[in-house]
Amino acid sequence: MDLRHTMKGRRVMAAVAISTGLLLTVSGCGGGDGGDKPKAASSSSRSGAEGGAKQASPTASQDQVLAEVKGDSGITLAVTSAKRDQGGFVTVEGTVTNNTDNVWIAADWRGDERELSKNGASIAGASLIDQKGKKKYLILRDTSGRCLCTQFTGGVRQGESTQWFAQFPAPPAGTSAVDFQVGSMPPASIEISEG
């Protein structure tokens, strides 16, 4: 009789433990509003869903410019932030200013790879170049091939500026000096800070 009660008690305890584990798993993976996601990841998911050009993280400071380069066509690219995040990636943010006579659509910034053609007018063709380590880091993508970056839907009007962001795999911890390169723009030498 004692053996039967002991076994029944163990089954009940096992069922309670399994139920508690499943409950914690479901609540941890729940849909929610994404409040537990890193800030950069939520920005990247917005770029795919909404596709707007002004979706870079609001923490990008226009007062602090790490690097600024000017293209032949009258486009100015400024990098205002390059932070190494805990998830093993680097988020680079900045602004682009259209000093041309027309709307700028970033056609040559989306990259040459077939997978990147789905990204339209975006900064998907950007890369980080580690000159010392002799490595090139391409922009991160989701499982659908969409870049974790800003898409310039509708372009940038003449005389206007807009913010952008792009995420890359993080170089090794000892590497902080890299070049940011996109399209035909000159490379912008930047320092990666710890996020």
| Residue extents of the structural domains in the chain | 1-32, 39-194
Looking at the predicted structure, is the pLDDT value of residue 17 above 70? no
- 47 pLDDT more than 90: no
| CATH number of the domain located at residue range(s) 39-194 in this protein | 2.60.40
Q: 131-161 pLDDT, tens per residue?
A: 998 999 999 988 888 888 888 888 899 999 9
Q: State the Cα–Cα distance between residues 92 and 102, nearest whole angstrom.
A: 26
Which whole number is the average pLDDT over 105-133? 81
Residue 121 pLDDT class (50, 70, 90 cuts): confident
Spell out the residues 6+ positions from residue 39 whose beta carbon is closer than 8 angstroms to its own: 57, 59
Q: How many Cα atoms sit within 13 Å of 58 on the Cβ side?
A: 0
Q: Which two tokens stand for residue 61?
A: 């400071």
Which tokens belong to 132? 């010392």
CA distances from 153 to 44, 55, 115, 138 (A): 14, 11, 18, 21
Cα distances (angstroms) measured from residue 103 to each of 75, 93, 134: 11, 22, 36
Q: What are 111's strand-pairing partners?
A: none
Please check whether residue 73 is in contact with residue 26, taking contact to mean a CB–CB distance below 8 angstroms. no
Contact indicator for 48, 146 with CB cutoff of 8 Å:
yes
